[in-house]
């Protein structure tokens, strides 16, 4: 080990000596050049003489050459930078190699000495590894040394770096993503200098989060620096919109002048708390109404929040935590939300479905070029909007605008960050132009609000004729609303396949294409049929008492599914409300496809029911009857049990209990002990 250190010190001394000689030679050359420039300047000042005459300047050049040869400038040695490599012990080899490259460039170290110099700064495991490398492979070049070092200490090679760069995606903050991207970008450029900036711009934008990526794409960055700046701004905008600052906004229904909306004085806010007028409280209490929504209260009642079916401009006021007074009336509504203080204005938007049946909305047609547009004119909307897809298909460009929160009446909201300026279209042949905010619209292409109607004042709605009249007598225009209902058109199977591949729903229905002659019924047969009509009965054992069992406990998602099933069969007329002393618990059974089947546990009722001995056919006997058959058919009766009515006297026995109340079946339900016998009698 001592011999090795002595040898390394000799090599290092040799490098330092060479460096000093180079510095001395450089200083000498620099002094000589300065002397030459000075002599040439003096030579130009000597006046020219006639041809053939000799002057004192004729001997200047030989003297100058002699002085140049004899000139020995004083040696001025520049002090060498006192900078050494950090010692490497096996951690972060990439960074250590980059520092070695800078060190060698500074000292102009030749390639044949780079490995020897770096070996002086290896410690611990790295030093032992280098000894084994020299013993096994002998002398190695600087490139081979770097590759072996990266392999030994666990860093990626070229192929791994390219793969990591291509798979890079933002998972945390923008700053962390930028650091990782710049690190991989530097390694990619070291290995391939032909990669241009457009390649890195595309890779950078494609690796961003979805909510940031589209905002950056909107500006079409041409430099990587601009793309990074927009990424930071987009992240700050999203953070500002989602900061949890409580806001109380009191709005009034806007008729013709939305600017009359005033924000109330901010008071302390306490989430989900309210106060009622004492008179209103006593009235609702005495009439058994819900304190919150004012609807009739019964067991299982759920509070439904009132919503405004309109588009309202609101002014937001940040407040502290406390209580608010909530007035549920047609004149106003207190809305509680969350918004950053920097967002001065927001828009409440509820008419995004393109509904043409609203009190203050009418759907009209428009055109832009050869493309047809559907536009919703809404008198309660403070702003005008356009769908992002419509902007793109019309050939317009989106421009950035101040951040605005567009709130829907169900308390959801979308962020609006772009605007389409000077959008031009035609309605009834007349051209129009407007600046439109860009948000995703569901049922229409554009929503025209109060800002547009003010420019074309007065605006009159005629809901009987389904039209809107704008302008005065000299500039009057009648916009006819869309009144036609949906039509059923025939399409080919190929077109249907394309529609389904786009994610559309398919509803199939069988139509009778030919008339069927109706045969006259025999009056005697009709009377017999009425007599033979089967209604399911539930005969009870003598002395049996009514069955009343507690309902089962459900998870929150099962409770929502149970409510949906009960509401569906109640709407279809299968069940009805009940006040029966009988009560069986309802439950949900999961199907193989992941959906739920609604069932009632009638085991308690079945125990006290007299069993029906109607013969049920044996499956083996039925299969034997099919012997020798070639073609088969079957009848799958949808909800077959529900085709049989319950006997009026026994309807109350089918009562089941849920957290929403009591219900009883008007048709034969599943789960009754005698249901198969009744159904078989009907089939026979």
Question: Per residue in 575-621, pLDDT tens?
Answer: 999 999 999 999 888 888 888 888 899 999 999 999 988 888 888 88
Three-state secondary structure call for residue 587: strand
Partners of 248 in the β-ladder:
317, 336
- Decide if 155 contacts 94 (C-beta within 8 A): yes
Tokens of 206: 């494609």
Which of 478, 448, 462 minimizes the C-alpha distance to 470? Answer: 478
Distance CA 25, CA 23 (A): 6
Query: Distance from CA of residue 248 to its chain's centroid?
Result: 27
Which of 84, 146, 152 minimizes the C-alpha distance to 111? Answer: 146
- Decide if 521 contacts 404 (C-beta within 8 A): no
Specify the DSSP class assigned to residue 541: P
Q: What are phi and psi of 249, to 5 degrees?
A: -130, 125
Distance CA 168, CA 183 (A): 11
pLDDT for 358: 54
Q: What is the pLDDT of residues 414-461, one digit of tens each?
A: 778 889 999 999 998 889 999 999 888 766 889 888 888 888 888 888
- Strand order from edge to edge, sheet including 317-318: 317-318, 246-252, 332-338
Distance CA 371, CA 356 (A): 21
Map tokens 């690190």 to a residue: 183
Identify the residue with better confidence: 647 or 329: 647
pLDDT for 483: 72
Q: What is the pLDDT of residues 498-517, one digit of tens each?
A: 776 665 555 555 554 545 45
- Cis upstream peptide for 458 (omega within 30°): yes
Q: What is the pLDDT of residues 234-253, one digit of tens each?
A: 888 888 877 644 343 333 33
Q: What is the dihedral of CA 326, 328, 333, 337, to 10 degrees?
A: 50
Distance CA 632, CA 619 (A): 16
Sequence-ordered alpha helix ranges (H) in 53-157: 60-70, 93-107, 111-119, 125-137, 142-152
Half-sphere exposure of 308 (CA within 13 A, CB side): 26
Identify the residue with better confidence: 35 or 76: 35
User: What mean pLDDT is reported for the chain?
Assistant: 74
Map tokens 């025999």 to a residue: 522
Residue 671 reports pLDDT greater than 60: yes
Partners of 168 in the β-ladder:
none
Give the count of beta carbons closer than 10 Å to the beta carbon of residue 622: 9
- For residue 676, give every residue at least 6 positions away whose Cβ sits within 8 Å of its Cβ, in sequence order, or none: 616
Query: Distance from CA of residue 552 to its chain's centroid?
Result: 38
Helices 125-137, 142-152: crossing angle, 10 deg rounding: 130
Length of the chain: 684
Q: Sign of torsion, CA 29 34 35 37? A: positive
Sequence-ordered alpha helix ranges (H) in 456-555: 493-501, 523-532
Residue 678 reports pLDDT greater than 80: yes
3-state secondary structure 282-297: HHHHHCCECCCCCCEC
- Decide if 423 contacts 432 (C-beta within 8 A): no
Tokens of 342: 């920097």
Q: What is the dihedral of CA 466, 471, 474, 477, to 10 degrees?
A: -30
Highest mean pLDDT among 175-179, 330-334, 419-423, 522-526: 419-423
Q: What is the pLDDT of residues 20-32, one digit of tens each?
A: 888 888 888 887 8
Distance CA 681, CA 312 (A): 62
- Decide if 204 contacts 227 (C-beta within 8 A): yes
3-state secondary structure 452-471: HHHHCCCEEEECCCCEEEEC
Q: State the pTM of this model.
A: 0.30
Residue 128 reports pLDDT greater than 90: no
pLDDT for 180: 84
pLDDT for 534: 76
């Amino acid at each position: 080990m001592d011999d090795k250190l002595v040898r390394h010190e000799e090599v290092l001394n040799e490098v330092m000596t060479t460096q000093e000689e180079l510095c001395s030679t450089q200083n000498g050359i620099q002094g000589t050049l300065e002397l030459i420039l000075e002599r040439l300047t003096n030579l130009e000042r000597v006046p020219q003489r006639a041809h053939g005459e000799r002057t004192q300047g004729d001997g200047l050049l030989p003297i100058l050459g002699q002085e140049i040869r004899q000139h020995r400038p004083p040696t001025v040695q520049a002090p060498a930078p006192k900078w050494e490599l950090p010692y490497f012990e096996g951690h972060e080899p990439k960074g250590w190699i980059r520092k070695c490259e800078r060190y060698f460039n500074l000292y102009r170290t030749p390639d044949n000495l780079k490995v020897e110099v770096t070996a002086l700064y290896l410690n611990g495991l790295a030093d032992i590894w280098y000894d084994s490398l020299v013993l096994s492979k002998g002398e190695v070049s600087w490139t081979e040394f770097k590759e072996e070092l990266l392999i030994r200490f666990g860093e990626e090679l070229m192929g791994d770096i390219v793969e990591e760069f291509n798979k890079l995606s933002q998972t945390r903050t923008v700053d962390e993503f930028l650091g990782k991207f710049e690190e991989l970008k530097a390694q990619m450029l070291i290995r391939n200098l032909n990669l241009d900036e457009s390649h890195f711009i595309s890779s950078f934008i494609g690796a961003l989060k979805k909510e940031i990526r589209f905002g950056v794409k909107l500006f079409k960055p041409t430099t990587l620096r601009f793309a990074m700046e927009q990424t930071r701004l987009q992240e700050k905008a999203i953070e500002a919109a989602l900061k949890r600052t409580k806001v109380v906004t009191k709005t009034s229904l806007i008729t013709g002048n939305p600017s009359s909306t005033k924000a109330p004085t901010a008071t302390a806010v306490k989430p989900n708390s309210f106060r009622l007028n004492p008179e209103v409280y006593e009235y609702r209490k005495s009439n058994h109404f819900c304190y919150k929504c004012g609807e009739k209260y019964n067991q299982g009642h759920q509070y439904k929040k009132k919503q405004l079916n309109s588009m309202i401009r609101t002014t937001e006021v940040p407040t502290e935590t406390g209580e608010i007074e909530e007035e549920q009336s047609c004149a106003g509504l207190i809305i509680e939300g969350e918004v950053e203080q920097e967002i001065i204005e927001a828009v409440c938007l509820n008419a995004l479905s393109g509904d043409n049946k609203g009190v203050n909305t009418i759907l009209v047609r428009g055109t832009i070029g050869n493309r047809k547009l559907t536009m919703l004119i809404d008198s309660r909307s403070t702003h005008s909007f356009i769908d992002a897809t419509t902007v793109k298909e019309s050939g317009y460009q989106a421009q950035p605008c101040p951040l605005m929160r567009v709130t829907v009446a169900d308390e959801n909201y979308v962020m609006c960050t772009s605007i389409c300026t000077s959008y031009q279209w035609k309605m009834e042949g007349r051209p129009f132009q407007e600046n439109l905010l860009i948000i995703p619209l569901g049922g229409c292409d554009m929503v025209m609000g109060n800002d547009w109607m003010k420019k074309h004042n007065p605006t009159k709605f005629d809901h009987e004729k389904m039209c809107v009249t704008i302008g005065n007598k000299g500039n009057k225009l009648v916009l006819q609303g869309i009144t036609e209902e949906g039509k059923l058109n025939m399409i080919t199977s190929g077109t249907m396949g394309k529609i389904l591949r786009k994610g559309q729903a398919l509803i199939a229905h069988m139509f009778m294409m030919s008339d069927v002659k109706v045969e006259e019924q025999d009056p005697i047969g009709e009377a017999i049929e009425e007599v033979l009509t089967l209604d399911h009965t539930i005969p009870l054992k003598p002395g049996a008492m009514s069955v009343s069992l507690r309902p089962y406990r459900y998870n929150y998602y099962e409770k929502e599914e149970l409510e949906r099933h009960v509401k569906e069969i109640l709407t279809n007329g299968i069940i009805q409300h009940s006040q029966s002393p009988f009560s069986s618990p309802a439950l949900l059974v999961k199907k193989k496809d992941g959906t739920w089947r609604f069932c009632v546990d009638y085991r308690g009722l079945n125990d006290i029911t007299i069993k029906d001995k109607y013969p049920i056919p044996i499956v083996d006997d039925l299969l034997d009857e099919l012997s020798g058959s070639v073609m088969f058919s079957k009848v799958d009766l949808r909800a077959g049990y529900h085709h049989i009515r319950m006997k009026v006297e026994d309807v109350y026995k089918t009562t089941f209990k849920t957290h929403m109340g009591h219900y009883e079946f008007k048709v034969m339900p599943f789960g009754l002990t005698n249901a198969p016998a009744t159904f078989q009698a009907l089939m026979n």
